[in-house]
Structure 1
């Protein structure tokens, strides 16, 4: 199948299960922001980071694919999505991010002590993580424009992810291996 279907030339696009919506629909815009976040995390991975950080980013990116699928599913079709066995996003994924927060704050000692100036420490990966953090925050805010209670865990994930990315940026700027 070609990536170029030309179905979007009229300003509409498909959600999961074929429902058509305008490209300006909050679901489409939120998916676009999450896709941008995923791409920015790819920049982090390519920025000479440790194996541990690369594996962490890879797992985050995997979760973002499932999150996009949930966001791209109309509220009437969430059961179909689950029945098909598509990857979603679960509370245990949010808890995994909580574990990262705990690790970086408690073990590494990186806590919020005021806002940082992204890039000021000369760490490209740290600056790229800060860009990813802002995109995560925007994606979360956009998700609140969608009237769908099934997105509560996705919103929690994006909210927590922005915190994790902030902490990872500080860790990277400090020269920690993570």
Structure 2
């Protein structure tokens, strides 16, 4: 099977069990951002990370494929691609709680800095927030139904990534760099 089909050469792509749409359609923008997030998480996993963070990021990468599949499907319930549940959100919350036991209380804003693993996770956090914004845009489109769980999942994932970046630094002995007001 060839990887290229040439069906997108005119600026359109097909949705799973749905119509062809322009590649700048809000739905394509949303799952494109999720795809970019997944790639950045893959890059983060190239760095030495604490085992618990590595394990969670591996699980999240698989879950992001599920998010993308749901977004690429106009009727995910009918097509059986609505895989993200409250359990996934709860797992992120539990992972946040576990990592926070290793962290000092946050008393001020910190810069996204430190070692390469932490910095890459901070980049992933920024991409995650952008994906969440695109998802909110898509959810506000007329005649579009998006599961609120997807928005909640990405919101919680950005929280997790912030805490994971902090924990990556702290567990490696890196000091957090506080933001200095100009």
Structure-1 residue corresponding to 2:180:
none
- Residue 158 of structure 1 and its aligned partner are, at CA, apart by 0.4
Instruction: For 2:94 and 2:153, locate their aligned partners in 1 and report how far apart those are by CA, in whole Å.
Output: 13
CA distance in structure 2 between the aligned counterparts of 1:21 and 1:111, rounded to whole angstroms: 47
Match of residue 120 from structure 2 = 128
Count of residues in Structure 1 that have an aligned counterpart in Structure 2: 169
Misfit runs of 4+, over 6 Å: none
Task: Tell me the TM-score normalised to structure 2 length.
Answer: 0.86
Q: CA deviation at 1:26?
A: 0.8
Match of 2:103 in 1: 109
Identify which of 77, 80, 94 aligns with 1:79: 77
CA shift for structure 1 position 111: 4.4
Shift of 1:151: 2.4
Distance change >3 Å, CA 110–CA 25, structure 1 → 2: farther
Match of 2:92 among 97, 102, 107: 97
Structure 2 residue matching 1:159: 3-state secondary structure: helix
Q: How does 1:30-109 map to 2 (within 5 A)?
A: 30-74=30-74, 77-82=75-80, 86=81, 88-105=83-100, 107-109=101-103
Contact residue 103 and residue 170 of structure 2 kept, 8 A: no
Aligned counterpart, 1:175: 171
Partner of 2:149: 153
Shift of 1:145: 1.3
Q: Which has the higher helix share?
A: 1
User: How high is the TM-score relative to the length of structure 1?
Assistant: 0.88
Distance 1:99 1:31, change over 3 A: same
CA distance in 2 between counterparts of 1:21 and 1:144 reads 19
TM-superposed deviation, 1:79: 2.9
Give structure 2 stretches of 5+ with no counterpart. 174-182
Cα distance in 2 between the residues matched to 1:126 and 1:3: 34
